Homo-oligomer: A and B are copies of this chain.
């Protein structure tokens, strides 16, 4: 078991842009980053394939997929046979997966404890997903408090930190943070260069 508490992080990696940006941000802070994807029965398994690819290209210290099959629970358009509307509605969207962020952070917490990592990172964002209860700063604060009560680290006087660095950023901010800077973009650009083909990508 590693004992570099405070220098390692577990980063939730979904395969989308947001969590990839978070991973890059955690790496830039000098943390040894382990990537975790939770296979929760999402209809788009291509996300998991993308996450695995990102974990490799971004040189995660290690990558793990844990299965938590939320299809047994249902209640969301992402895991059950519920239509996703083309336009937004009022209230909490049908794409909300009950307790998803709580469950994913819980698994991340368990793994962090085994690794001896004191930092959790996730792509939770309150700006573009304001209808989701588990995407609010108060939720992240409450999970951090729980994490320090639930773990050996907390009992032994160390501090677990739950980071959601995109919380207050707009999607445009996130694109600007990401585009052209992360390893995925760098490798993509290098690929075009090495192939001698003009890169059609317009980086921000």
A56 partner residues in chain B, CB cutoff 8 A: none
Given contacts A68-B67, A149-B139, A149-B142, contact A102 B109 (CB under 8 A): yes
* A contacts, CB < 8 Å to B: 1, 64-70, 72-75, 92, 96-103, 106-107, 109-111, 113-114, 133-134, 136, 138-139, 142-143, 145-147, 149-152, 154-155
Contact A134 B113 (CB under 8 A): no
**Interface pair B73/A66, CB less than 8 Å apart:** yes
A92 to B142, CA, bound (A): 24
Cβ of A162 to closest chain B Cβ, rounded Å? 11
Nearest CB on B from A114, distance (A)? 3
* Contact of A99 (CB < 8 Å), options: B74, B106, B138: B106
A64 CA / B70 CA spacing, docked (Å)? 11
- Residues of chain B within 8 A of A150, CB atoms compared: 99, 101-102, 133-134, 139, 142
- From known contacts A106-B106, A145-B145, infer whether A114 and B154 are also in contact, taking CB-CB under 8 Å: no
Q: How far is the CB of A83 from chain B (nearest CB, A)?
A: 15
Given A69-B66, A98-B109, A92 and B155 contact (CB-CB distance below 8 Å): yes
A189 to B65, CA, bound (A): 46
Residues of chain B contacted by A102 (CB below 8 angstroms) = 106, 109-110, 146-147, 150
In the complex where A142-B142, A146-B143 touch, is A73 in contact with B107 (Cβ < 8 A)? Answer: yes
* Contact between chains at A68 and B70 (CB < 8 Å): no
